[in-house]
Structure 1
Amino acid sequence: MRRSIQMVALSTIAALFALTACAPSDNSASEEKLTQVRVSEVIRSIFYAPQYVAIEQGYFKSEGLDIQLDTAWGGDKAMTRLLADQADIALIGAETTVYVGQQGASDKVVNFAQVTQRDGSFLVARNKIDNWDWSMLKGKSLVGSRKGSMPEMVSEYVLKQNGVTPFSDVNIIQNITFDNQATAFASGTGDFLQAFEPSGAILEQAGQGYVVASFGQDSGKLPYTVFMAKASTIKSEPTTIQKFTNAVQKAQNFIHSSTPEEVAKVIQPYFEGVESKVLTAVIKRYQDGDAWAKDAVIDQEEFSNMLAIMKEAGELNADVSYQDLVNTEFAEKAKRQ
């Protein structure tokens, strides 16, 4: 029986990360007048619920926009699509704009609308731990993320802040692709897992893992996931960027005024492999953890916190100007509406 439960859990996790397509759009005559906007999201995740709410609730459409959503499955891939003009807007971590800037790009990528304000990953243990302490990672192995990614930098930052030296006190496994990490953990790899939801909830439901800590709560607020575009796009299409940001703000208002059950019902089409009760539990966890920004404004203090984390990880090569990489004009206007 337990073998059967394990197979179901593995299949569910695998099915989740195979989801790449969003719900089909209505090809009515009225939609022909909409402005098409190509959006590349880094991964498909419940963490990005405001984006799916904006699509499903018709907020983008009411602003005259037709969103063509693509899932890149990787921050580097999403950024490549943006730089190659295969996408107009990308939903990625703000740190990617710093990397592009450090490489001397002539057309900078600018962050203009914040979606999440904390790291969205959780620490999953194989057994229940009632009184968790980060020192319990010492001598253990942790399935983590790739070097230079924000999840990995946050993880290392939190460990150091709690007296745990990454790669010395704890072995961090980094050779497993994101979409295979939860499956690998369920199969026996690692003592702990840095997981994005709903992987943690699915593992808990199957009795194969238990969430014991939140990386987001222990690392503070930062512009973890934002909408961004090339500076040239923002300059040439300010009306479209404003309409896009207006829709994002409407979705954020919905997220913060709705129950987990209501939000789950709206975004369910994007997570067909996830049970409604799991989806609801994850949304509640994110709401309780203050993961979603209440407005799209990218705060300078939070941006500075992200830079501090990058510097601690050795990924910040030079000083970075907030004014060069952040535009709050559209978010501030959307907030006032």
Structure 2
Amino acid sequence: MFCVTMTCKGRAVMSKFKVLAALALTAVTMLGAPVRAQERDVKFILDFISLGRHAPWYVALGKGYFKEEGLNVTILPSKGTADAIRSVVSGIADIGFIDVPSLVASGSAGGAIKIVAVNYQKAPYCVFTLDPGANITEPKQLANLEFGSSTSSFLPRIVQAFMEMNGVDSKTLKVINIDGAARVPMLAARKVPSIDQFIMSEPSIRRAVTDAKPKCLLLSDFGLDIYSNSIGTTEEYLTKNPDVVKKFVRAALKGWQYALAHPKEAAQIQIQYVKALNPDIIAEEVEILKRIAITPEVEKNGFGIVSLDKMKKTVDFMNNNVDIPGEKLTAEQIYRPGFLPEKPILPQ
């Protein structure tokens, strides 16, 4: 029987519509597939376990800045900067949060890593004491001080070089070898009058010491003008993936911009990824980051800015004051320009 009614014609039209819709959906799916395929996996390793000072990286993740650049970024913890350097060199991580002095101190072992942006414009190294207690507030007070650190670390050598810069006899510093995890408890128990820690540790030290005020002698406030933690990757990765690195840097620096302008929100974002952290400590650490991440150069030229002259000063300081294994690195070997955003990302 032939169908000649309007109902049958309507069914025919609907059937054709369904076919066309299916074809259209297939076309959209096929067009969408390459976009998803272009999203690039990137493994980024920190300089230590995740702490409040690392909130800017998680802000870049949580706010979708990496996704906007087509990057699927995984943030990895490390056992320390030396571990981060090894992980990037070996390919375990693609990009790392690399301390420039530590990179120089690694000598030829770190020669493959290139710095493309500097986050810590000022070194975060502190000599922490207590008030009441040793209460160190100026370099001359470092003479004859017992200093809790590690004899295998280069930080005592930095402090000693800093003492000489400020006219203090470095031979009088008495370095007490203390495991990293035990330094704050020993300071709190008055078993050692001073310890080395990054300035961002102040909120945690303040909570551990209830009967005194922690005092940080920030070396960069008294003439130690060197770079510290930065974005680094290998020469090979840079050569093969220059656009990926540029996109990563741009997204990361947006995270730094936003986090430093909104510490409390940054804390709430980070605890979504690292639930064990205290959001109050995170926010306080982010506030402290401003002291070492925002300088007049950053206010003028944007986050991540690198001066070759200051990079040379950083490298020379380390090469001249620390025992370097193997071949000594130069600033030209370490730094690779051209990976910062064309439009500077300025502090808010």
Q: Displacement of 1:183 after TM fit?
A: 3.0
CA spacing shift, 1:152–1:63, aligned 2, 3 Å: farther
Change (3 A) 1:189 1:312: farther
Q: TM-score, normalised by structure 2?
A: 0.74
Question: Which residue number corresponds to residue 309 of structure 1?
Answer: 317
Question: Does the CA-based 8 Å contact 2:129-2:135 persist in structure 1?
Answer: no
Cα pair 2:46 2:75 within 8 Å, conserved: yes
List per-residue Cα deviations over 1:124-157 (Å, max 9, x = no partner). Answer: 21224778222223232111245454x4454233
Aligned mate of 1:243, from 234, 242, 247: 247
Instruction: Report the Cα distance in structure 2 between the residues aligned to 1:191 and 1:47, rounded to whole angstroms.
Output: 25
SS at structure 1 position matched to 2:339: helix
- Which whole-Å CA distance do the structure 2 matches of 1:336 and 1:290 have between them? 13
Q: Is the 8 A contact 1:60 1:244 kept in 2?
A: yes
% same residue: 15
- The equivalent residue for 2:184 is 182
Give the number of aligned pairs.
303
Note if 1:283 corresponds to 2:286: yes
How many Å separate the matches in 2 of 1:122 and 1:270?
A: 28
Letter matched to residue 199 of structure 1: S
Q: TM-score, normalised by structure 1?
A: 0.76
Q: Which amino acid letter does the alignment assign opposite residue 125 of structure 1?
A: T
Which deviates more from structure 2 when the two are superposed, residues 127-136 or residues 46-55? 127-136
Could you tell me which residue of structure 1 aligns to residue 342 of structure 2? 333
Amino acid at match of 2:193: D
Q: Does 1:79 align with 2:85?
A: yes
2:308 pairs, out of 284, 300, 321, with 300
Q: Of 28, 40, 45, which aligns to 1:40?
A: 45
- Asked if 1:58 corresponds to 2:60, the answer is no
Larger Rg: 2
What is the CA–CA distance in structure 2 between the aligned matches of 1:196 and 1:86, rounded to whole Å? 26
Distance (Å, rounded) in 2 between the aligned partners of 1:59 and 1:238? 18
Q: Secondary structure at the match of 1:241?
A: helix
Paired residue for 1:195?
197
Quick one: which of 84, 102, 111 aligns to 2:115? 111
CA change 1:102–1:270 in 2 (3 A) is same
1:225-264 equivalence runs, <5 A: 225-256=229-260, 258-264=261-267
Change (3 A) 1:209 1:175: same
Contact 1:132–1:212 at 8 Å: present in 2 too?
yes
Is the Cα contact below 8 Å between 2:120 and 2:227 reproduced in 1? yes
Look up the SS of the partner of 2:131 in the other structure: coil
Q: Cα offset for 1:51?
A: 2.0
- List gaps (5 residues or longer) in structure 1: 1-28
Aligned partners of 2:107, 2:194: CA distance in 1, in Å? 34
Return closer, same or farther for 1:271/1:146 CA change in 2, 3 Å cut-off.
Answer: farther
State the shift of 1:251 in Å. Answer: 1.9
Deviation at 1:175, TM superposition (A): 4.2
Deviations 1:203-262 (A, max 9, x none): 223325512421232244433011111111110111211111111221233245x14334
Please give the secondary structure, in 1, of the residue aligned with 2:97.
Answer: strand
Gap runs ≥5 in structure 2 = 1-32
**Residues 139 and 170 of structure 1 are in contact (CA less than 8 Å); yes or no, is this contact kept in structure 2?**
yes
Evaluate the alpha carbon distance shift between residue 255 and residue 276 of structure 1 in structure 2; reply closer, same or farther with a 3 A threshold.
Answer: closer
Q: Which residue of 2 aligns with 1:265?
A: 268
Q: Evaluate the alpha carbon distance shift between residue 274 and residue 81 of structure 1 in structure 2; reply closer, same or farther with a 3 A threshold.
A: closer
Is the Cα–Cα contact under 8 Å of residues 198 and 278 in structure 1 kept in the other structure? no
Q: Which residue of 2 aligns with 1:133?
A: 138
